[in-house]
Amino acid sequence: MSSNDKNHADKPKRRAFFLAAGIHSCLGNGIDANLATLQQLPQPPALLDNDLTDEQLNIPYKLLAESPLADLQNRLYQVIDDVLEQALTEANLSQAQRQAMSLYLGSSSFDIGINEANFQQQLAVETDTHKAMPLPGPSMANVADYIVRSQGLRGEDFSFNTACTSSANALMSAVAHVEAGLVEHALVVGVELYNDVTALGFYGLDLLTRSVMRPFDKSRDGLVLGEGVSAVIIGRAAENQQQGFYLCGGANLCDTHSITMSNVDGSGIAEVMQLALANADMAANAINVIKAHGTASLANDEAEAAGLHRLFKPLPKVCVLKPFIGHTLGACGLNELILFYRAIEAGFLIATPGIGADSGDLNVQLNQQLSPVAPGNFMLNFFGFGGNNTSLVISNKWEAEA
């Protein structure tokens, strides 16, 4: 054990663990379905017809595997109900424990898709005396409010809206509250479903590719938007019952270089990763694998690569999730965390054969082969619009030390 690992092991023992999870992505509905598809090659996106503007568009998207893009007024909540049930069933909490949970929800778009569908419906029957009105019940907490009511929660609820770091930031707050003893169990939820604002907004930014995303690859040419809803239950383990994965550190910083991207010199990204390591009481060489943000856009990958090279010499193994599930924006923090750690628990590290296969112009080579991963420490990066940068450090080392 390195001195850094020893310091880590000497920290207070009542950590908050990832007790259970549920997910619905383009790969499948449920953990097992997602993990099975993750062991195959990433697939290109669907092209969605969009005729809302003068231009007839085909917008690339990775849609949920088992929920057709229809009945948008109810689809969001049906998917959420299903994913919550997956996580709650796996957690096996009592009814009283369920109700006492606090909720930490992260999303970029929340229920905007429902608002869009309702507005379109109103517009179809609009008259001079009865005008359609967009956004009749504006609140970022509408989705959280639904979960509170449907699950009968009596704990607190927080809705995070920090772009692509939303659910990663939600997770950090949830873990902090559980570890501080403010709540016994935390329900962390990431939500991102198709909506026209996001689809047209990203199309307008010219950030989309129509093929498989190729992060850090010399032929990278943009991102694909993805849908995903996921949930994790966080809870403290009793003394001598440490098991599984837990968040051992994390950091969030606002990089004011630009509202859409970090400084390509990597300084802002290196700073947040360094702070996350400090928060985890670790040196860079204690990290075994990095799950990169990897949006496959020219400048963002350049910035992340530069940040990685500033801090890690040499780079540990690097892997990415977005070629598989697309960029699930505010939900990517939780979606990618779940797929990453559950894949390791299932015996493999995410691999993207043929993507980032050589070092390329950014000198970042992605993991190419499915292989078992020893218990260790893992960094997960998430960066968002508004300069919101978050880096998490998770570990399953207790498993080995128990």
Partner 1 sequence: MTIYIVTTGSYCENITDELPPLKTLVTESVNCSVRRVGRFIQLALIGAGRASQQLSKNAAVYFTSGSGDMAVTVDVLNAIYRQGEAPRPLSFINTVSNASCFYIAQSLQLNGASNFVSSRYFPMESALRLALLALKSGEQQAALVGAVDVAVTPLADHRKRMGVDENATIAEGSHWLQLVSDATNRDVLATLDDVQPFKDRAALSAYLSELPFNDTDYLALGQFVAPNEVSQWLAETDLPQFKFRDGVGEFKSQAGLAFCQFVEQGVGRLIYLNRDVVGRYMLVVVSCGAGD
Helix segments in 166-235, DSSP class H: 166-179, 196-205
Judged by CB under 8 A, the chain residues 30 through 49 that form the site for partner 1 are: none
Residue 378 in contact with partner 1, rule: CB under 8 A: no
Nearer to partner 1, 267 or 368 (CB): 267
Structure tokens at 250: 């994390």
Indicate the pairing of strand 388-395 with strand 377-384: antiparallel
Q: Measuring CA to CA, how many Å separate 255 from each of 40, 86, 258, 383, 387? A: 36, 36, 7, 10, 4
Nearer to partner 1, 4 or 260 (CB): 260
Which residue stretch of 161-169, 225-233, 237-245, 306-314 sits at the interface with partner 1 (rule: CB under 8 A)?
Answer: 161-169
Which residue stretch of 82-90, 147-155, 303-311, 343-351 sits at the interface with partner 1 (rule: CB under 8 A)?
Answer: 147-155
Residue 391 in contact with partner 1, rule: CB under 8 A: no
Quick one: how far is CA 63 from the chain centroid?
Answer: 16
Which residue stretch of 28-36, 65-73, 175-183, 211-219 sits at the interface with partner 1 (rule: CB under 8 A)?
Answer: 175-183
Residue 357 in contact with partner 1, rule: CB under 8 A: no
Nearer to partner 1, 102 or 377 (CB): 102
Nearer to partner 1, 41 or 52 (CB): 52
Judged by CB under 8 A, the chain residues 285 through 324 that form the site for partner 1 are: none
Binding partner 1 (rule: CB under 8 A), the pick from 4, 7, 73, 142 is 142
Tell how many helices (H) and how many strands (E) occur in the chain. 13, 14
Structure tokens at 106: 């992260």
Residue 1 in contact with partner 1, rule: CB under 8 A: no
Dihedral of CA 170/172/175/179: which sign? negative
Nearest distance from residue 310's CB to partner 1, in Å?
16
Nearest distance from residue 207's CB to partner 1, in Å?
10
- Rounded to whole angstroms, the Cα distance separating 45 from 212 reads 7
Binding partner 1 (rule: CB under 8 A), the pick from 56, 149, 239, 240 is 149
Q: From 321, 351, 343, 344, select the one nearest 396 (Cα to Cα).
A: 344
- Whole-angstrom Cα Rg for the chain: 20
- Rounded to whole angstroms, the Cα distance separating 188 from 96 reads 18
3-state secondary structure of 109: coil
Residue 180 in contact with partner 1, rule: CB under 8 A: yes
Nearest distance from residue 83's CB to partner 1, in Å?
21
Binding partner 1 (rule: CB under 8 A), the pick from 81, 82, 156, 184 is 156
Nearest distance from residue 157's CB to partner 1, in Å?
6
Q: From 236, 250, 304, select the one nearest 281 (Cα to Cα).
A: 250
CB 211 within 8 Å of CB 44: yes
Residue 283 in contact with partner 1, rule: CB under 8 A: no
- Rounded to whole angstroms, the Cα distance separating 59 from 168 reads 26
Q: From 169, 152, 332, 314, select the one nearest 251 (Cα to Cα).
A: 169
Q: From 224, 376, 248, 381, select the one nearest 306 (Cα to Cα).
A: 381
Nearer to partner 1, 54 or 240 (CB): 54
Judged by CB under 8 A, the chain residues 193 through 222 that form the site for partner 1 are: 196-197, 200-205
Nearest distance from residue 54's CB to partner 1, in Å?
6
Residue 244 in contact with partner 1, rule: CB under 8 A: no
- Rounded to whole angstroms, the Cα distance separating 336 from 320 reads 9
Binding partner 1 (rule: CB under 8 A), the pick from 46, 48, 65, 100 is 100
Residue 328 in contact with partner 1, rule: CB under 8 A: no
Residue 160 in contact with partner 1, rule: CB under 8 A: yes
Q: Where are the beta strands (DSSP E) in 156-263?
A: 157-160, 185-192, 225-226, 228-236, 246-254
Binding site for partner 1 (CB under 8 A): 52-54, 100, 108, 112, 115-116, 119-120, 123, 133-142, 144-145, 148-149, 154-163, 169, 173, 176-177, 180, 182, 196-197, 200-205, 251-256, 259-260, 271, 279, 384-388
